[in-house]
Amino acid sequence: MIVTLSKHVDGITYFWFMYRDGRTIQMYHGVTEQWKLNQDVSDSIEEKYTFRRQAKRRMEELITEKQAEGYEQDDIYGMQTGRKERETFRRRTKWLAYLLVGLGLFQFVTPFSLLPIVVLGIGIVLMFLAFISKDQLPMWLRIICFVDYFLMHVSFRQEPYIPHLFPILSIGTGTLLLLYLRSKHKRKIERIS
């Protein structure tokens, strides 16, 4: 995570450049017109933490402290609002797609079957994915997720009569989700370059 904060005082821009990489926070403090000052304002600090959560919390505290001192967060990289939420959604959806494909293959390859409550749970997750992903997934994929919820609910109720419905649905839906996420990521990279 990269954060740049700056403030303008008497025609001089003071800035903080903060970078968090895992458990390490690196900070650099400086000014844009060093020659206007009689002193050296540049400073470089590195902090290491035991856990990533501690570093993330400290980074948020540093941003809050600097904003209280009058620094404003700059958007020098042209990052769009909601980027973090989209990345989180993409990561969780990819995890769900891998889980769907894995559970479907598990039922095809092994003689064991999944508990019906697991099938229902996966179906409910797909239903929530269909409703929550309004801005993230296209309508055709949301409809497929919603229809799969109903078919998984049927397979939950009628498992002895339709033995391979869940594996087919889970492998198909997981593959569609993965293919869509991959093509979307590929288009994004082509647009950037």
Query: What is the model's pLDDT at position 178?
Result: 93
Provide, rounded to the nearest whole percent, the portion of the chain with pLDDT above 90. 10
HEC per residue, the chain? CEEEEEEEECCEEEEEEEEEECCEEEEEEEECCHHHCCCCCCEEEEEECCCHHHHHHHHHHHHHHHHHCCCEEECCCCCCCCHHHHHHHHHHHHHHHHHHHHHHHHHHHCCCCCCHHHHHHHHHHHHHHHHHCCCCCCHHHHHHHHHHHHHHHHHHHCCCCCCCHHHHHHHHHHHHHHHHHHHHHHHHHHHHC
| CATH topology classification for 2-74 | q64v53_bacfr protein fold (2.20.140)
Selected residue with higher pLDDT from 58 and 157? 58
- What residue ranges do the domains of the chain occupy? 2-74, 83-192
Each residue's pLDDT tens digit, 71-94: 888 765 555 556 777 888 888 889
Give the mean pLDDT of 82-110: 85
